[in-house]
């Protein structure tokens, strides 16, 4: 019996070392002004699934007023899994970054966490800017949590406004955002980032930006750009590999 237990423990250790335990999380964004009941359906779908948490890429509320945050708390009260928030531009129309931090109990609007074998760096670019201070914070955080250390095999960066890429020209950004995006790309390459998650554009988009996967998930209830569908992404992490799957959501019957 003892030998069997030792063998099982050794096998589990080998499997863990090889990251053989696959897992998944969900990504949605731009749920403000949801007139079609999309975000509640996303919450229910994630809650009933094997996805371990929901990462929201920002614009959860319309203007960031206290009443909107009360309504958001009521809306998400029954959600049993962690909700990982990214600050969006709509959160700070009438509200402040301090309001956002206090509401979610965060250390700051840029923060990071590690889940299973993935490290997540959440970047505040809600103002349409990737400032030198923000990029320096990201560089330090990724340097402190490299792939191959402490069981980390996947690196994910999330921000509200997408970077400027070959396929994305985000709106509402500063004039030199393209140059800032180039600086960001250098940091991402240096630290071997696997995936960037964004919202803001009220669409779904998936591309590879010079070797880095970029997914825009912006269809959680806000008005869509033409020819887009409501929905969210399931992200599967398996052995250091990432797979993204778009899951459409139909408007609720009125």
Three-state SS for the chain is: CHHHHHHHHHHHHHHHHCCCCCEEEEEECCCCCCCCCHHHHHHHHHHCCCCCCEEECCCCCCCCCHHHHHHHHHHHCCCCCCEEECCCHHHHCCCCHHHHHHHHCCCCCCEEEEECCEEEEEECCCCCCCCHHHHHHHHHHHHHCCCCCCCCCEEEEEECCCCCCCCCCCCCCCCCHHHHHHHHHHHHHHCCCCEEEECCCCCEEEEEECCEEEEEECCCCCCCCCCCCCEEEEEEEECCEEEEEEEECCCCCC
pLDDT in tens, 190-232: 999 999 999 999 999 999 999 999 999 999 999 999 999 999 9
Q: At 13, is the pLDDT very low, low, confident or very high (cuts 50, 70, 90)?
A: very low
pLDDT in tens, 22-79: 999 999 999 999 999 999 999 999 999 999 999 999 999 999 999 999 999 999 999 9
Query: What are the domain boundaries of the chain?
Result: 24-248
**Residue 22 corresponds to which tokens in the numbers above?**
């696959």
Which homologous superfamily is 24-248 in?
Metallo-dependent phosphatases (3.60.21.10)
pTM of the model: 0.91
């Amino acid at each position: 019996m003892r030998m069997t237990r030792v063998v099982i423990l050794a096998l589990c250790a080998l499997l863990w070392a090889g990251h053989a335990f696959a897992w998944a999380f969900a990504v949605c964004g731009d749920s403000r002004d949801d007139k079609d009941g999309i975000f509640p359906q996303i919450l229910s779908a994630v809650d009933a699934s094997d996805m371990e948490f929901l990462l929201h890429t920002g614009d959860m509320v319309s203007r960031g007023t206290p009443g909107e945050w009360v309504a958001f708390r009521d809306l998400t009260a029954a959600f049993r899994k962690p909700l990982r928030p990214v600050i969006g531009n709509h959160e700070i129309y009438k509200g402040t970054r301090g309001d956002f931090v206090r509401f979610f109990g965060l250390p700051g609007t840029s923060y990071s966490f590690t889940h299973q074998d993935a490290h997540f760096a959440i970047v505040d670019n809600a103002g349409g800017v990737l400032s030198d201070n923000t990029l320096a914070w990201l560089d330090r955080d990724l340097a402190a949590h490299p792939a191959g250390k402490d069981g980390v095999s996947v690196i994910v960066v999330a921000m509200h406004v997408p970077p400027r890429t070959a396929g994305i020209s985000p709106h509402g950004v500063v004039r030199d955002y393209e140059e800032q995006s180039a600086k960001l790309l250098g940091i991402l390459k240096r630290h071997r980032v696997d995936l960037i998650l964004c919202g803001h554009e009220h669409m779904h988009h998936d591309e590879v930006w010079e070797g880095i996967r970029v997914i825009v998930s912006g269809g959680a209830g806000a008005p869509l750009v033409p020819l887009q569908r409501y929905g969210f992404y399931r992200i599967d992490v398996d052995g250091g590999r990432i797979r993204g799957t778009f899951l459409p959501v139909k408007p609720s019957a009125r």
